[in-house]
Amino acid sequence: MVEEKFPDGSAWMGGEFINLSEAKISVLDWGFLRSDATYDVVHVWNNRFFRLDHHIDRFYSSTKKLRMPCKIERTELKRILAGCVKRSNLKNSYVEMIQTRGMSPTFDRDPRKSTPRFIAFAIPFGWILKPENFNKGLDLAISTVKRISPESVDPKIKNYHWLDLVIGMYEAYDKGHYTTVLVDNNNNVLEGPGFNIFSVDDQGLNTPLSGVLEGITRQTAIDLAKELKIPTKEISITSEKFKNSKEAFATSTAGGIIPITKIDGKVIGNGTMGTITSKIKDLYWAKHTDPDWSECVEDLL
């Protein structure tokens, strides 16, 4: 039997802090059986949570929309997340809060009879694209796979419904690309696995209007663009318009502002990180020490 290996980290479950390897749920949990769960991910950089309240607000909203509102109040939730980071001895970390539907003691098929389960953990910070590769940028393929319709599943609720994204990723790998972006039924680009997208044209920034998770880093990019006096529009973006961007970038907790330099084999701009992308990226990381944007781990314990 191959021994499971776990990254450095710590978890909270069932009212106590535990080793990451001990954070397990039953195979009968609706989160596992039905993907009936929601989650959010916040990051810590140099021992400071970035935009923590925004992530908690979205988490509370998601659990409420799924009719299993989180019962842990904000101060306690912050203490739990900070405790996971502290016990992990991680200076830079990826911190996840999860709520599953849980399970019924009698394995009843009625979700109302299940008791929701809350889990949190901290692991080392992860990157969609490592910083040393930022000038090279992301090489995306526009997938033929359609994103799950927002008429079926509200994309504003952060969820684990990734099968469409995973299929798109394999499609991209088969063509030699790094990752993918999915489209809607009208072939407007939407989002990739774990990231939102922006297109830059002569008028400023464009980002998809609907059908996407309204990412915290996406909103951060919009806020930073406003500070830099760069106009931003939330509009439908056709695949062709996206491929003809002067610059393009992705946004994610897993790396912040990430340049996109190739789409379906077409070089974007001069094939390296663009000027506007660079300005937003630099300001993004500068905000990590700003007390209006970040909170110290120790202050939350």
pLDDT in tens, 117-155: 999 999 999 999 999 999 899 999 999 999 999 999 999
Q: Read off φ and ψ for residue 227, nearest 5 degrees.
A: -60, -35
Tokens of 58: 């979205």
pLDDT in tens, 33-68: 999 999 999 999 999 999 999 999 999 999 999 999
Q: Is the pLDDT of residue 1 over 90?
A: no
- Torsion sign (Cα): 164, 169, 187, 237: positive
Taking the C-alpha atoms of residue 66 and residue 62, their distance in angstroms, rounded to an integer, is: 6
pLDDT (0 to 100) of residue 5: 75
- Which one-letter DSSP state was computed for residue 32? H
Taking the C-alpha atoms of residue 46 and residue 267, their distance in angstroms, rounded to an integer, is: 35
Do 200 and 245 form a contact (C-beta atoms < 8 A)? yes
Q: Which of 186, 225, 233 is nearest to 209 (CA)?
A: 233
| pTM for this prediction | 0.96
Beta-bridge mates of residue 42 = 95
Taking the C-alpha atoms of residue 23 and residue 238, their distance in angstroms, rounded to an integer, is: 42
Count Cβ neighbours within 10 Å for each residue of 91-118 and write b for 16 or more, e otherwise.
Answer: eebbbbbbbbbbbbeeeeeebeebebbb
At residue 285, what is the residue type? W
Taking the C-alpha atoms of residue 120 and residue 95, their distance in angstroms, rounded to an integer, is: 7
pLDDT (0 to 100) of residue 117: 97
Mean local confidence (pLDDT), 88-111: 94
Q: Is the pLDDT of residue 2 over 80?
A: no
For the chain, domains (ranges, CATH) are: 10-124 (3.30.470.10), 131-288 (3.20.10.10)
Taking the C-alpha atoms of residue 246 and residue 232, their distance in angstroms, rounded to an integer, is: 15
pLDDT in tens, 156-169: 999 999 999 999 99
State what percent of residues in the chain have pLDDT above 70.
99
pLDDT (0 to 100) of residue 7: 84
pLDDT range class, residue 3, cuts 50, 70, 90: low
Beta-bridge mates of residue 118 = 99
Residue indicated by tokens 């610059």:
247
Do 256 and 285 form a contact (C-beta atoms < 8 A)? yes
Other C-beta atoms closer than 10 Å to the C-beta of 163 total: 11
pLDDT range class, residue 278, cuts 50, 70, 90: very high
pLDDT in tens, 180-229: 999 999 999 999 999 999 999 999 999 999 999 999 999 999 999 999 99
Q: Which of 148, 152, 252 is nearest to 198 (CA)?
A: 252
Mean local confidence (pLDDT), 228-232: 98
- Distant-in-sequence, close-in-space partners of 46: CB < 8 Å, separation ≥ 6: 91, 92, 288, 289
